[in-house]
Chain A
Amino acid sequence: MSEKKEYILDNGWIVSKQPAEAPILHVTPLPNSIFRVRDDLELPNDIYRDIAEGERSIKELFKKHKLHNLIIKWGEPRKVLPKDNSPAKFYGRGFIVTQEDNKYFLDYQLARQGGGSRKFEISKEIYEEARTGKYATSDLFKKYNLYHLDIPENDVK
């Protein structure tokens, strides 16, 4: 009579199989990883067979079987929520301009991956022009030659 089998992969995830049941990959959150959600996945037999025969490297399982595509569950396609402009705040294409007391600011997302942002003070003229809705971030930079302000030292966040 066979017993429950259990294998530990090199990143700490456990693969288990009960007699007469499908093998299960127990995904546990990993620090500093894109895998932060707990999940239990049924493993295809060919992947389980490799593991049972000694494969423990998660990278090899990803490369050989695209196992990560089973784990990464993309959400339903969606759009960003509608913008909510106000007299002191305007959403442009990739940026926000705000009026805070008597000062005006341009707050924009950086081009690079990762979602960084930057915010610096601008003139009232730029603020009002940006509110026309005609501009994307790079358009504003070009029109008003704001490039010299695009440095971390000017970030007022």
Chain B
Amino acid sequence: MPRGTWGPQFVEGDEDFDNSPEKERDRESASRWKTKSPASLGGTIDGSLTEVRDMADMFKLAQSLIYRETWTQIVESIRNFNIGEQLSGMLDTFEDKIADLRGDNGEYVQYHALGEGGARTFFTIAAAWKKVVRFGSDLLGIKQAGSPVNKLKRKHQDFNENFEYSINKSDNFKNLPTDSKNKLITDIAESKDGILGEVLAKNDGDLIDAWKKMEDLRADEALRRNPGALDALSKPKRSRPDPSEYLEPGYLSAHRAKFDDGAVRFTTQSNIDKYKTLGGNEAFTMPKSEFDDLIAETGGDLAQIEQRLGLNPGDLTGDDAVIAWIQKKDMGEVKMPSGNEDGVIDEFWIPGGKTSGGVSEGIVDLSNPDILFDPYPF
């Protein structure tokens, strides 16, 4: 019985072998049925491309010779014409069939049944087509349209590539407890447009650590799945981006609306007397409405309040502590914390305007001594 394998075109040890993760993904996914370009295409084109070895290089070469606008039209035409979708569907069917025929060692024990020449030709054309459409779309930033089934397939393929070939091989992921691994996989699978998987796959592991910190500090699911928020958390204080760069305008306005009943600031009478203000120009406050809930939930216990506010034990237990309630009309703009504010406790800070204890927090300028406030000395 004929036996054979359809592996990569070149193997480890070859002069051309490139063991970068990107190339490895290429080999493992689409390059199994790699086409070879004609030798005549090898060469130098304006120093931008030195050798054409596969379809990706052919595409790059073609792109270098044609204006971007033209390529956009070509890719759009291909997509609209739907040949790619049909071929992809046929390819998937054949791949399923191959999988049925494949033995555990990766050899095609009934390889002859498909007809070597015909199958190879079909797979070569189909895989090349699929790669051209997808590679072109990715390069031009065009998301492929298609039926819901195809979108789901694409999502599955993206997840598989990102997870199996990058994230799953990262030490940062391997070191997570099993429960956390499962939760992260769920977050990757359910993040909008699969963006979390894409970003984590390209990152060296810092963002997985940031994700873990968010999980430990009970950040909301939406924030755990927000790569921008993970990036902000992974950066050191003073270099974190403005929250408007990674939070939706609707999220920001909803956060501001929480302060419609005013803001509450914990401070001390001695600080008020010393500095002649309630705080600095970037002072953390909480919504008055949530202050009421906080007292109800903690019974007024300061240790519990400190924990809910993401403070160190003992931060609120001074003898001259004061709770100041600033009415909305007196407090000016409420900003989303960026994590760059002085005195932020890195150990506890998370993006998104909530403390690690789940209480909303906002930044208010309290440096004006003319701000009216209602004090509650306790």
A63 — which chain B residues lie within 8 A by C-beta?
A: 296-297
A113 — which chain B residues lie within 8 A by C-beta?
A: 265-267, 284-286, 309, 311, 315-316, 361
From B123-131, B218-226, B298-306, give the one contacting chain A.
B298-306
B81 in the interface, Cβ–Cβ < 8 Å? no
B132 vs chain A, min Cβ distance (A): 50
Question: What is the 8 Å Cβ interface bit string for chain A, positions 25-40, against chain B (1 contact, 0 not)?
Answer: 0000010111111000
Q: Which of A72, A81, A95, A112 contacts B344 (CB 8 A)?
A: A112
B295 in the interface, Cβ–Cβ < 8 Å? yes
A136 near B272 with CB under 8 A, answer no
Which residue in chain A gives the minimum CB-CB distance to B236? A147
A112 near B277 with CB under 8 A, answer no
B10 — which chain A residues lie within 8 A by C-beta?
A: none
B268 near A115 with CB under 8 A, answer yes
B295 near A62 with CB under 8 A, answer yes
B345 vs chain A, min Cβ distance (A): 7
Give CA–CA (A46, B270) in the complex, Å.
40
A111 in the interface, Cβ–Cβ < 8 Å? yes
A143 — which chain B residues lie within 8 A by C-beta?
A: none
B280 near A95 with CB under 8 A, answer yes
A94 near B296 with CB under 8 A, answer no
B227 in the interface, Cβ–Cβ < 8 Å? no
A137 near B296 with CB under 8 A, answer no
A21 in the interface, Cβ–Cβ < 8 Å? no
Question: What is the 8 Å Cβ interface bit string for chain B, positions 268-283, against chain A (1 contact, 0 not)?
Answer: 1011111111111111
Count: A-B pairs, CB below 8 Å: 185
- Known contacts A66-B292, A94-B279, A138-B281; A82 and B369 CB within 8 A of each other: yes
Give CA–CA (A156, B263) in the complex, Å.
31
Interface size (B, Cβ < 8 Å)? 67
Question: What is the 8 Å Cβ interface bit string for chain B, positions 337-377, against chain A (1 contact, 0 not)?
Answer: 00001111100000000000000010101111111111111
A62 — which chain B residues lie within 8 A by C-beta?
A: 295-297, 299
Which residue in chain B gives the minimum CB-CB distance to A110? B343
Give CA–CA (A69, B374) in the complex, Å.
14
A138 near B378 with CB under 8 A, answer no
B168 in the interface, Cβ–Cβ < 8 Å? no
User: Among B281, B321, B327, which residue has the most Cβ atoms of chain A within 10 A?
Assistant: B281
15 A-B pairs with CB atoms under 8 Å apart are A33-B300, A59-B296, A59-B297, A77-B372, A78-B375, A79-B372, A81-B369, A83-B276, A111-B280, A112-B343, A114-B315, A115-B318, A137-B281, A137-B342, A138-B342
Interface contacts beyond A81-B369, A94-B283, A111-B341: sample of 14 additional A-B pairs, CB < 8 Å, sorted by A: A32-B302, A59-B297, A68-B292, A73-B376, A77-B372, A109-B271, A109-B280, A111-B363, A112-B311, A112-B344, A113-B286, A113-B311, A113-B315, A138-B280
B interface residues with partner A (beta carbon < 8 Å):
237-238, 265-268, 270-286, 292, 295-303, 305-306, 309, 311, 315-318, 321-323, 325, 327, 341-345, 361, 363, 365-378
